[in-house]
Amino acid sequence: MNWIEESRKIFKISKPEHFTDFAHCEECLDHDLSLVSSDVDSIGFDELGNPGWDPICYVEAEGFIYYFPAFVRLCLNSNSDQSYISQFLFHLSSDGNNNKYTLSFSVEQRNFTLKFIKYLAETKIDTITLYGDEEMLSTTIEIWASV
């Protein structure tokens, strides 16, 4: 399967005008500007690769859906030197079964997400292990398998 192309089909929506509550504070504004100035093809590790300054933490579900193909690309390109998998799993597992994305994704999007997480478990386990994310991987699979 071409995961990136398939994710583009399943998660295809128009780019939101804004991604965060940009009027809330300077940090939300900075994150919104970063996301607005990029697109699903251009966003990369420079914008998303720092867990301590992660604009996706503030994104509404619509923005997460828009950028999902980029997350797939970043995860597939992850390696021992640079990985997005930890952040991806974090976003998909936060709040457990009440994860806002499990609640907002379509059935097709949820099914794709679970298949992709399992694919990462098979093909990127060395990177996942190197970054110490085995438990988060298991938790994320459990969450997405139960929806």
- Across residues 50-62, what is the average pLDDT? 93
pLDDT at 53: 92
- Across residues 93-105, what is the average pLDDT? 92
Q: What is the pLDDT of residues 38-54, one digit of tens each?
A: 999 999 999 999 999 99
Residue from 65, 73, 64 nearest 3 by CA: 73
147: confidence class by pLDDT, cuts 50, 70, 90: confident
Q: Is the dihedral of CA 73, 15, 13, 26 positive or negative?
A: positive
Tell me if 104 sits within 8 A of 129, measured CB to CB.
no
Q: What is the pTM of this model?
A: 0.96
Tell me if 32 sits within 8 A of 56, measured CB to CB.
no
With a cut of 90, say whether residue 71 has pLDDT above it: yes
Tokens encoding 126: 């060395």
70: confidence class by pLDDT, cuts 50, 70, 90: very high
In 10 A of CB 47, how many CB atoms? 19
